[in-house]
Chains A and B, each alone.
Chain A
Amino acid sequence: SQTIHQWPATLVQPVGSPLSLECTVEGTSNPNLYWYRQAAGRGLQLLFYSVGIGQISSEVPQNLSASRPQDRQFILSSKKLLLSDSGFYLCAWSVRTEYQPQHFGDGTRLSIL
């Protein structure tokens, strides 16, 4: 069966520090991969998605970036965190068949001080 791993579960970082969040999927090949952010009391905002290695599409201009160095690995990064980057970050994957749902990791709670 397929599983998705996201880490760390919680992270506290000072303003201006770098960020790296990692997500890996097991049990499937060639998945679509997604990064979402969920601010307190708000819905899900799609940040990035990827349909293949090295292929990244950005949905929202920001100081975050994403990379997909391997088929089942998706990384969210920042060179300098802002206070507004605080939130709950969720990674998700789906198979490429059009009507299939997305499956989510357990998320990373990011607090910026």
Chain B
Amino acid sequence: AQSVTQLGSHVSVSEGALVLLRCNYSSSVPPYLFWYVQYPNQGLQLLLKYTSAATLVKGINGFEAEFKKSETSFHLTKPSAHMSDAAEYFCAVRVSGSARQLTFGSGTQLTVLP
């Protein structure tokens, strides 16, 4: 069965600093991976997706993620944090053979300090 683990339920960075949100996956088949962002009292918005093409995936709002098979990781990064990046971020993996499609991590709350 596929699963994802997000390390760190809370991450704080200063404005302008590097953002690194960690996600490790477990999958017996080539995974399809996704990152979502959720602002308070809103639904989830897709940031980016990995579907076995390029290992470095660029998303919206300056975010990108790199798929590393050897490390079973799909960490989300942004070179310079902005106050508007404060939100909760979810990593998700496709569940093979099921219309359920996605299993989500427990989320990482990102705080951006002025």
A residues engaging B (CB < 8 A)?
6, 32, 42-44, 46, 49, 51, 57, 59, 88, 90, 92, 94, 96, 98-99, 101-107, 109
Chain B at the A interface: mostly helix, strand, loop or mixed? loop
B residues engaging A (CB < 8 A)?
32, 34, 36, 41-46, 49, 51-52, 90, 94, 96, 99-102, 104-107
Which residue of A59, A88, A90 is within 8 Å of B100 (Cβ)?
A59
Specify which chain A residues have a CB less than 8 angstroms from the CB of B94 in the assembled complex. Answer: 98-99
Bound-state Cα–Cα, A44 to B106, Å: 7
Which residue of A43, A51, A107 is within 8 Å of B42 (Cβ)?
A107
A42 to chain B, nearest CB (A): 7
Bound-state Cα–Cα, A57 to B107, Å: 25
- Given A43-B105, A92-B44, A98-B32: 5 more A-B contacts, CB < 8 Å: A32-B99, A44-B90, A99-B49, A101-B46, A107-B42
Most B CB atoms within 10 A — which of A42, A43, A49, A51? A43
Q: Are A98 and B101 in contact (CB under 8 A)?
A: yes
Specify which chain B residues have a CB less than 8 angstroms from the CB of A99 in the assembled complex. Answer: 32, 49, 51-52, 94
Q: Are A51 and B106 in contact (CB under 8 A)?
A: no
| Identity of the chain A residue whose Cβ is nearest the Cβ of B31 in the assembled complex | A99
Specify which chain A residues have a CB less than 8 angstroms from the CB of B104 in the assembled complex. Answer: 43-44
| Identity of the chain A residue whose Cβ is nearest the Cβ of B42 in the assembled complex | A106
Specify which chain B residues have a CB less than 8 angstroms from the CB of A92 in the assembled complex. Answer: 43-44
Q: Are A90 and B106 in contact (CB under 8 A)?
A: no
Q: Are B43 and A49 in contact (CB under 8 A)?
A: no
Known: A49-B100, A51-B99, A107-B43. A101 touches B105 (CB 8 A): no
Known: A43-B105, A44-B90. A101 touches B34 (CB 8 A): yes
| Identity of the chain A residue whose Cβ is nearest the Cβ of B102 in the assembled complex | A102
